[in-house]
Structure 1
């Protein structure tokens, strides 16, 4: 039956009922009820108005009339109707009438719930909230509805008095499972409002038994991981981890995550304290290695605990060597992911690539063996998929190579900023571009959206086996790992070998995985003999391993007078994370400052600002340098502002044994002279490669003595600085470093050569 036919039938029905009621003088209330039951609220309102004319003292008609007005979207008229009657009653009557009205509204809400009319349920329950703000059950219903309707803002928890009402209830009166479910729904909203923390704590205080305790603990811990590491709200996530530890104070997992969340939310000293607790809680060798790396991370993040971090690193090496000697074969999936990058810190402490790479390759080998045990069936399946892929290609000879880019960092991150030029300049007639984004966030950043728009196809997940299967299903020819050893899921995917050819580019360094075929380098960034200690085959591009078309530059927010620095003074500058603040390099930098009259040292970076200041000031005092020659800058709001503010700097002093990478490119793009100390390892030669490709040799030092000499010479020779700045500006038009399109052609030529080699060998 069509809608018009139904409406016509209803109209005829009510016309008949009305005539019947008029002729027999039957109760108008029945007419209203009949109309209400079939959803004709306008008719129902007319009937209840007639009922009130016939029976002015019929209190229930006021409630029913207000209800049908409400259901027509006339909330103000509904409230006026109810109020008119309430004003006529005594206090005892009003109390009774309130309960009566609430009951009618509750029945109406339940009826609309059955019919799945969520918006009407929302309107009715809001009126119940007005009638009885002490009804916890109704408040919880409203919270659920706000989430379901997409109206949740976080303010509802306070508006509906949820916390206060929960505190008034005894634990026995509370439906705990319902509260857990509601909290879970709230934790799934984005953006996440911090008001839910009060609700989480109120629920925590109402735990009655071990089952409730465990359920709440699991929810709090899982949510803290998701919110902290994927939604990037570590401060809120840390509170959830704190709540979890109130339930199980010695739980190792909660302790570990809290330590990391404190670090990520710039609560550095708390992060160190909790990381020390975590070290004491673990027992197995694999867990001890991870706990040691957690504490190392906490210490190095601050930039001010270098001595303790260096001592711990020696013990950390011993634990890793013990694992290499034992070659355990019973590591869990989680332990594999945690141990594989446990030697991540070595290049920050020492420029010993032969030793570092050997240890790295061996610990990766242990993890890879365990991965094969864990994923034996999947690895067999992926191997069969690769063989079938090769056979299909031989038969069909497709025109385009399928290139897959795998990363958790295709967003506002160094990898994201640098890789975009290759993606943008790819020849789409010869190459199909697939992107595999690692993440579990419910939102995307502008740069991440840009990457998605550039791909022929993209896929996003946080599950390694799922992504590996998708890469195989997509029949990717060449998979490029952009994260290297910095992201655990990337390691897991690459170790499964879902693509015939796998490459590492960008990231930290080569991972050491035997399933990675090539590591992209250039003539400068690795010494000629580096293949001796690399597991992967080093593939050297002809000029540079990285190129960009340039950087966006904003409006500067920093002036010399803001820093109380004279116009004719020389400003040295260093911006890096706490990880890169090797004390020996800091001493070299301060020796330069000491020898250049009227010079200042500006220091900026993501670390514990107070701890970093203390270490720099104490070292300056030891060198006989007044503390007022040092300036500690806050991190700029955006990358483009950071680049603009480089304009007031005269010389940038690079770090060693871990150079700048993105920061070096930005420095050269802005035409600022750079002093870098060249070493042997990849991370100690980044700036050297970039300077050579920009046509600049001034400032390249091969020893500590040369580093100091170049720093002093550049500080004292303004003409030399001007010449370098001019050469850097000119290099924008001629240098391979600033030619993303040419770089893309060189990478594509390499991809084709790699594919040809693969075909010849298979």
Structure 2
């Protein structure tokens, strides 16, 4: 058909124009509408369609002129009618484009709708939705389009609640953490029709913002809004409790945890609420007696839950239980008793996981039974590392050397990471670059497990243990034939995990009797690094009003590790060493931790003037540099330092540690032995005091220890990441050989 075609000879010209539109031949369609206007200029719909065809050809100005000229000649009532007709034409085409996933054209059409009716809130929401699909959305769009103001306006009469919820969900999941997200969510509240879905959407987003993006204050503000709709929602209150605590709003965190505990009816709910209360009290650092009381009650609740043995717990509550034993080793060095509780609870959680993900677990078990028939082991072995900490985090700093030194001819490395929304994390980017395959996931354990299974990972290494509930869920499903826990924490006790990596020192010989996993002891050390990056120190004695000839002790651990018995031993050391000062830093409530130490100092006859409370350093490299202000570092007990111990030894500073029976009480011990020193290793409280006093008074001894640590950097197992990696690889091959042998027998 040509532009000169006689319109009167074509009965179905409108259908033909529609076909041209569908085919994308906008010029031919426009020609038909121009002929129609010439023949019947009073029919306004021809102008609406002609303008649309011009717009689709990129002739924006011509399109707008066509519409304006057609509308301008009418009376006010006609203008309103014609405007409505034009909007209907544009709306119909925009919806057609959206169904075709032609988002760019749909977005352009809706921008014209916006120009005609800038207060059409549903059209503005569609524009946001399309911008999200096109990956062009920025938070400023919400302000520029006036979406939040319109949602808050009393003049806005109708909002599509389903569309609004979809837009909110997509904005919360894709936009960077910002106060605007709270403002948008608050503006949505009056329009909520489905409270459960709204709460679920906001809660899920707050988890990502609070835990993965590390913005707990913003996450707390966000999830607080859910309480306006349902102030008795225990799921919301437990999440809010954690966000308060993580943002160091300790009083709010403790108060909300108490509220959770009082509201909880199910035993599993009580257990988790009790855990949160204990977390808040110990994190603050100054509520020790109440924390001890809660600890005793918490152990009773755990025992009752294990005896009750529920087998159909909802996924969310089952996940929360994995971490509910986390604080047991912080209170008492009762390795056998703590492990028994840990193992029983982990087994219970695995049963529940395999109930709500039954099909997935059964599929994995069938593959595990048949995978390796007929061959000794695959080359290269596929090693999968899962963690939410492969970033600027202690685990991220320490696991680098295994990734760097892996033999890529014999081992293929896969990294499974939770996406923390941070695009400026150089360590996370480094891990991605060092992996043969790297994935960044939302917090969905079932999805991650499926990817591990699809990748046919041979040996899966869990770097989180019970510090991440999703990690426990993944391991319970057993997506890989051989599963191992290493580095991140003590063993989780999950029956589906085959091995726990240790060494000759970090666990006593008797540990095999009470660990659910088989302990795989490497010959020297369970961790080694090639070193640490160190910045420029910002801490000086004169800034702290400490004489240059004073003996400076330092303890840098978060509030969880501040046990009153150990703090009392530390004060006895300070009291015995003249002209000594004690520097204390680590995440905790400032007033609580000061009250905690000042009270013990006064009881032990130590002037509080000899204590200095330091803020946390702005970065890891500065933190390590500032360790150099200390003459002696005093470790915590029953939960030792780990990364902090490694950093202390790397900075060649003498350390005093108290060795116990549990893994958490032997970290510093194994690291010191593997750095080539024994000075400062105490097996009793009395020895802890003796070493602390001796190292404080004997400058020559301190220099001797420092010199040993300096020389150890060239010789000690602790500082040989490459050799350590070879030992890990040897362990992997032996684990795989055992698996193959058992599968073929």
1:557 and 2:534 aligned? no
Q: Is the 8 A contact 1:63 1:101 kept in 2?
A: no
Within 1, Cα distance between the matches of 2:357 and 2:93?
Answer: 51
Of residues 402, 416, 430 in structure 2, which corresponds to 1:422?
A: 402
1:204 and 2:189 aligned? yes
1:186 and 2:171 aligned? yes
Of residues 427, 435, 439 in structure 2, which corresponds to 1:455?
A: 435
Aligned partner of residue 544 in structure 1, secondary structure: coil
Q: Map 1:482-561 onto structure 2 (within 5 A).
A: 482-561=463-542
Q: Map 1:358-757 onto structure 2 (within 5 A).
A: 358-393=340-375, 398-438=378-418, 445-461=425-441, 462-757=443-738
Q: Is the 8 A contact 2:534 2:621 kept in 1?
A: yes
Q: Map 1:16-165 onto structure 2 (within 5 A).
A: 111=93, 114=96, 134-165=119-150
Aligned partner of residue 414 in structure 2, secondary structure: strand
Within 2, Cα distance between the matches of 1:750 and 1:162?
Answer: 58
Q: Is the 8 A contact 2:319 2:469 kept in 1?
A: yes
Within 2, Cα distance between the matches of 1:321 and 1:212?
Answer: 38
Within 2, Cα distance between the matches of 1:723 and 1:447?
Answer: 35
Q: Is the 8 A contact 1:389 1:475 kept in 2?
A: no
Q: Given the superposition, is the C-alpha separation of residues 369 and 205 from structure 1 closer, same or farther in structure 2, using an over 3 Å criterion? A: closer
- The residue that corresponds to 1:349 in the other structure is 331
Q: Is the 8 A contact 2:312 2:356 kept in 1?
A: no
Q: CA deviation at 1:488?
A: 1.9
Within 1, Cα distance between the matches of 2:693 and 2:64?
Answer: 80
Q: Given the superposition, is the C-alpha separation of residues 343 and 138 from structure 1 closer, same or farther in structure 2, using an over 3 Å criterion? A: closer
- The residue that corresponds to 1:56 in the other structure is none
Within 2, Cα distance between the matches of 1:118 and 1:517?
Answer: 49
Q: Is the 8 A contact 2:241 2:256 kept in 1?
A: yes
Of residues 140, 146, 161 in structure 2, which corresponds to 1:176?
A: 161
Q: Is the 8 A contact 1:105 1:125 kept in 2?
A: no
- The residue that corresponds to 2:308 in the other structure is 326
- The residue that corresponds to 2:12 in the other structure is none
Q: Is the 8 A contact 2:90 2:110 kept in 1?
A: no
Of residues 271-280 and 233-242 in structure 1, the stretch that sits farther from structure 2 once superposed is 233-242
Q: Is the 8 A contact 1:580 1:658 kept in 2?
A: yes
Cα deviations by residue, 1:628-654 (Å, 9 ceiling, x for unpaired): 332222222221121122122222111
Within 1, Cα distance between the matches of 2:644 and 2:661?
Answer: 20
- The residue that corresponds to 1:337 in the other structure is 319
Of residues 268, 283, 295 in structure 2, which corresponds to 1:313?
A: 295
Q: Given the superposition, is the C-alpha separation of residues 467 and 629 from structure 1 closer, same or farther in structure 2, using an over 3 Å criterion? A: same
Aligned partner of residue 574 in structure 1, secondary structure: strand
Within 2, Cα distance between the matches of 1:156 and 1:475?
Answer: 43
- The residue that corresponds to 1:241 in the other structure is 223
Within 2, Cα distance between the matches of 1:469 and 1:146?
Answer: 31
Of residues 350-359 and 323-332 in structure 1, the stretch that sits farther from structure 2 once superposed is 323-332
Within 2, Cα distance between the matches of 1:675 and 1:442?
Answer: 37
Q: Indicate the structure (1 or 2) with the bigger Cα radius of gyration.
A: 1
Q: CA deviation at 1:262?
A: 1.4
Cα deviations by residue, 1:63-82 (Å, 9 ceiling, x for unpaired): 99999999898999999999
Q: Is the 8 A contact 2:575 2:606 kept in 1?
A: yes
Q: CA deviation at 1:730?
A: 1.2
- Corresponding residue pairs, total: 722
Q: CA deviation at 1:259?
A: 0.8
Q: Given the superposition, is the C-alpha separation of residues 566 and 188 from structure 1 closer, same or farther in structure 2, using an over 3 Å criterion? A: same
TM-score, with length taken from structure 1: 0.84
Q: Is the 8 A contact 1:524 1:689 kept in 2?
A: yes
Within 2, Cα distance between the matches of 1:480 and 1:215?
Answer: 35
TM-score, with length taken from structure 2: 0.86
Aligned partner of residue 294 in structure 2, secondary structure: helix
Within 1, Cα distance between the matches of 2:484 and 2:261?
Answer: 35
Q: Is the 8 A contact 1:102 1:131 kept in 2?
A: no
Within 1, Cα distance between the matches of 2:411 and 2:56?
Answer: 58
Aligned partner of residue 386 in structure 2, secondary structure: strand
Cα deviations by residue, 1:522-564 (Å, 9 ceiling, x for unpaired): 1211122222222222222111111001111123233333333
Q: CA deviation at 1:743?
A: 0.6
Q: CA deviation at 1:141?
A: 4.2
Q: Given the superposition, is the C-alpha separation of residues 83 and 389 from structure 1 closer, same or farther in structure 2, using an over 3 Å criterion? A: closer
Cα deviations by residue, 1:734-756 (Å, 9 ceiling, x for unpaired): 11100001111112222223333
Within 1, Cα distance between the matches of 2:49 and 2:303?
Answer: 79
Q: Given the superposition, is the C-alpha separation of residues 176 and 363 from structure 1 closer, same or farther in structure 2, using an over 3 Å criterion? A: closer
Q: CA deviation at 1:706?
A: 1.9
- The residue that corresponds to 1:30 in the other structure is none
Aligned partner of residue 675 in structure 1, secondary structure: strand
Q: Is the 8 A contact 1:106 1:125 kept in 2?
A: no
Aligned partner of residue 602 in structure 1, secondary structure: strand
Within 2, Cα distance between the matches of 1:272 and 1:93?
Answer: 66
Of residues 555-564 and 434-443 in structure 1, the stretch that sits farther from structure 2 once superposed is 434-443
Within 1, Cα distance between the matches of 2:53 and 2:366?
Answer: 66
Q: Given the superposition, is the C-alpha separation of residues 609 and 74 from structure 1 closer, same or farther in structure 2, using an over 3 Å criterion? A: farther
Within 2, Cα distance between the matches of 1:728 and 1:590?
Answer: 26
Q: Is the 8 A contact 2:695 2:701 kept in 1?
A: yes
Q: CA deviation at 1:732?
A: 0.7
Q: Is the 8 A contact 1:520 1:539 kept in 2?
A: yes
1:222 and 2:201 aligned? no
Cα deviations by residue, 1:103-159 (Å, 9 ceiling, x for unpaired): 868856765665567556656765766676545445434433443443332223333
Q: Given the superposition, is the C-alpha separation of residues 151 and 689 from structure 1 closer, same or farther in structure 2, using an over 3 Å criterion? A: same
Cα deviations by residue, 1:242-301 (Å, 9 ceiling, x for unpaired): 111111111111111111121122222111111111111221222211111121112222
Within 1, Cα distance between the matches of 2:547 and 2:420?
Answer: 49
Within 1, Cα distance between the matches of 2:455 and 2:52?
Answer: 57
Q: Given the superposition, is the C-alpha separation of residues 78 and 496 from structure 1 closer, same or farther in structure 2, using an over 3 Å criterion? A: closer
- The residue that corresponds to 2:280 in the other structure is 298
Cα deviations by residue, 1:187-215 (Å, 9 ceiling, x for unpaired): 122313321322221221344xxx43333
Q: Given the superposition, is the C-alpha separation of residues 245 and 63 from structure 1 closer, same or farther in structure 2, using an over 3 Å criterion? A: same
Within 1, Cα distance between the matches of 2:195 and 2:364?
Answer: 41
**CA RMSD across the alignment:** 4.0
Aligned partner of residue 734 in structure 1, secondary structure: coil
- The residue that corresponds to 1:252 in the other structure is 234
Q: Given the superposition, is the C-alpha separation of residues 130 and 373 from structure 1 closer, same or farther in structure 2, using an over 3 Å criterion? A: closer
- The residue that corresponds to 1:26 in the other structure is none
Query: Which sections of structure 1, spanning at least 5 residues, go unmatched?
Result: 1-8, 21-34, 52-59
Q: Given the superposition, is the C-alpha separation of residues 626 and 106 from structure 1 closer, same or farther in structure 2, using an over 3 Å criterion? A: farther
Cα deviations by residue, 1:350-379 (Å, 9 ceiling, x for unpaired): 011122122222232333344454455544
Within 1, Cα distance between the matches of 2:146 and 2:456?
Answer: 55
Q: CA deviation at 1:655?
A: 0.6
Q: Given the superposition, is the C-alpha separation of residues 103 and 487 from structure 1 closer, same or farther in structure 2, using an over 3 Å criterion? A: same
